[in-house]
Structure 1
């Protein structure tokens, strides 16, 4: 039998019970702690019960191994992505990596490629203009010689029929040379100075718009177009030589004006090429910042993932052997 007795109520001392077993005269005391009692503001006592969750050893399901496997699978996926980025040098390889970034990257790549080709187009245009300008320079030199011959032939006080005839022969040869230059000057099979080079468009930008295009026309520089052909002028007579002086000097002015226009366009093309190069560099830099991988950052991430993978494999190995502990309990 157990006799319950209590002394004066004390705040921090537990109640005790003195029990006497039926088969023993020895007494023993049980300390009854009970549940923890909390006094609420209203004066009522609230009993809080503490529960300790227990994790059992299961044979058919190993939660620890499943969680370890899931974590290791995520680590392997991240490691594979890091390897792909480092091996390709790109952090956006497909649209699945970054849909919005992929679209922007394609746009920047398109623009960069357009600028690259536009720079090449401008350089080709400059070559065309240089070819035409070089030919016009030769024609200007010929016209200067023709003007000298005409001026000499116009000096009738010192000329006779023999000298005038000799001057006329040289003069006619220079007229034919003008036509030869005008007809033979071409670029890539396209004639430049025979009058057929009209409204030719140079694509000097990445888009099909007027600001990215320059149209060019080059007038004819044949002797007929310049008004100095054999049918128009000669220096076989003093009076003819005097008229030839006026015609040749007008032709010199025309050729100089043509060369000046071509030179101005060439300078425009040169400046445009420098501007296109700057734009191309900026676009390529923007594309690289968006698409290319940060090698230093990705290498650090790669090393971290390698360590995480090794630790994950070790933990998974340990977790897979947890059910074997249950077998020991059955022995």
Structure 2
């Protein structure tokens, strides 16, 4: 070939190869330092799209695991309270069996009734106070709660729902309240105002509660809470809210609640069957049957809660397996194979050194022309 000075083709060729090698080495350094095979879409466009989809699914499943764990906590909170409800019902049954014997005089039965009434009041308190993150679980208001346990949006496949109606302790408390009661329709709680008067027959007692101005209440439960907070009312009566969102008032002193006209905002009361009575042996035997019904209902509720807790635990195990396998799939696509990339880096490093040396040789080649000029 001829000797040319203005255009050093060998140097251009060496420079081009060196530039390619330097680019490859730079990419290898980036992959080795970041740990990712795909750092930008240009590294692997299809792989990036696939790995982002897998990453979304994996992230959603990890959150779903936490949701399922929260679901277990909700169930355990409700079931823990029902454990104590069972203990209370068993004690009330013991009292009813004790009151069934005529070895007890009227004073003894009065003392038995007093303890039974206190236990029934505790059932009402448990129903109204048991909650998880502000959601009441045992007062009949929770109804069906849905727990997101999947990464998708399908209500059928990605959620677990549980109906807490079977765990309505307020219904249990109302069923066992001493004396008869009335159910009041409070369609518009914000309209409730004026004085509400409640009285009993048999065991004479009455109470008048000043409800305050209209707009003081937003829910029927707030109306019930207002009544129960009045000391005169709570001495002889108990207010609860049933599953149909009606206000139920029971006499807890052994008397029968008389129907009275409520203040503005509610319809007149309809009679509700009385709860347990322990004043005679016959009534106490009837109370045993009533308590047995409630014990069975609470047992069913606890069984349902235990079953859904087991389901949550299996769901968590399944989700963790899915997270593990999806993470492995994403890793194969997105993460750097350090051993393989180190081989590529070593190759690029050697080629870079060789290319630099050859570029130096190519740059010095035109100097041979000077020997012709000196000849």
Please state how far the C-alpha of 1:223 moved relative to its aligned partner: 5.1
* CA–CA separation in structure 1 for the residues paired with 2:279 and 2:20: 98
* CA–CA separation in structure 1 for the residues paired with 2:177 and 2:371: 118
Secondary structure of the residue that 2:3 maps to in structure 1? coil
Secondary structure of the residue that 1:205 maps to in structure 2? coil
Please state how far the C-alpha of 1:94 moved relative to its aligned partner: 1.4
Residues 62-107 of structure 1: CA deviation (Å, up to 9, x unaligned): 0100000000000010001001101110001111111110110001
Match of 2:152 in 1: 207
Q: Is the 8 A contact 1:131 1:187 kept in 2?
A: yes
Match of 1:323 in 2: 366
Matches within 5 A, 1:17-56: 55-56=1-2
* CA–CA separation in structure 2 for the residues paired with 1:226 and 1:307: 86
Match of 1:21 in 2: none
* CA–CA separation in structure 2 for the residues paired with 1:137 and 1:175: 15
Match of 1:280 among 323, 328, 336: 323
The number of residues matched between the two structures is 276
Match of 1:168 in 2: 113
Question: 2:298 matched to 1:255?
Answer: yes
Question: 2:175 matched to 1:227?
Answer: yes
Match of 1:46 in 2: none
Q: Is the 8 A contact 1:226 1:251 kept in 2?
A: no
What is the TM-score normalised by the length of structure 2?
Answer: 0.72
* CA–CA separation in structure 2 for the residues paired with 1:214 and 1:247: 33
* CA–CA separation in structure 2 for the residues paired with 1:328 and 1:190: 97
Please state how far the C-alpha of 1:225 moved relative to its aligned partner: 5.8
Match of 1:98 in 2: 44
Match of 2:87 in 1: 141
Match of 2:127 in 1: 182
Q: CA RMSD in A?
A: 1.2
Q: Is the 8 A contact 1:91 1:291 kept in 2?
A: yes
Please state how far the C-alpha of 1:302 moved relative to its aligned partner: 1.1
Q: Is the 8 A contact 2:120 2:173 kept in 1?
A: no
Give the greater-gyration-radius structure (CA): 1
Moved over 4 A (4+): 223-226
Secondary structure of the residue that 1:56 maps to in structure 2? coil
Secondary structure of the residue that 2:146 maps to in structure 1? strand
Please state how far the C-alpha of 1:291 moved relative to its aligned partner: 0.5
- Sort the Cα spacing of 1:241 and 1:218 in 2 relative to 1 into closer, same or farther, 3 A: same
Please state how far the C-alpha of 1:314 moved relative to its aligned partner: 0.7
What is the TM-score normalised by the length of structure 1?
Answer: 0.81
Please state how far the C-alpha of 1:230 moved relative to its aligned partner: 2.6
Match of 2:289 in 1: 246
Match of 1:297 among 305, 324, 340: 340
Please state how far the C-alpha of 1:234 moved relative to its aligned partner: 2.5
Match of 1:151 in 2: 97
Q: Is the 8 A contact 2:172 2:294 kept in 1?
A: no
Please state how far the C-alpha of 1:238 moved relative to its aligned partner: 2.0
* CA–CA separation in structure 1 for the residues paired with 2:72 and 2:4: 82
Gaps of 5+ in 2: 180-274
* CA–CA separation in structure 2 for the residues paired with 1:237 and 1:313: 109
Gaps of 5+ in 1: 1-54
Q: Is the 8 A contact 1:171 1:234 kept in 2?
A: no
Match of 1:112 in 2: 58
- Sort the Cα spacing of 1:226 and 1:260 in 2 relative to 1 into closer, same or farther, 3 A: farther
Residues 268-316 of structure 1: CA deviation (Å, up to 9, x unaligned): 0001100110011000011111100001111121122111111111110
* CA–CA separation in structure 2 for the residues paired with 1:80 and 1:198: 61
Match of 2:4 among 50, 53, 58: 58
* CA–CA separation in structure 1 for the residues paired with 2:66 and 2:171: 34
Question: 2:10 matched to 1:72?
Answer: no
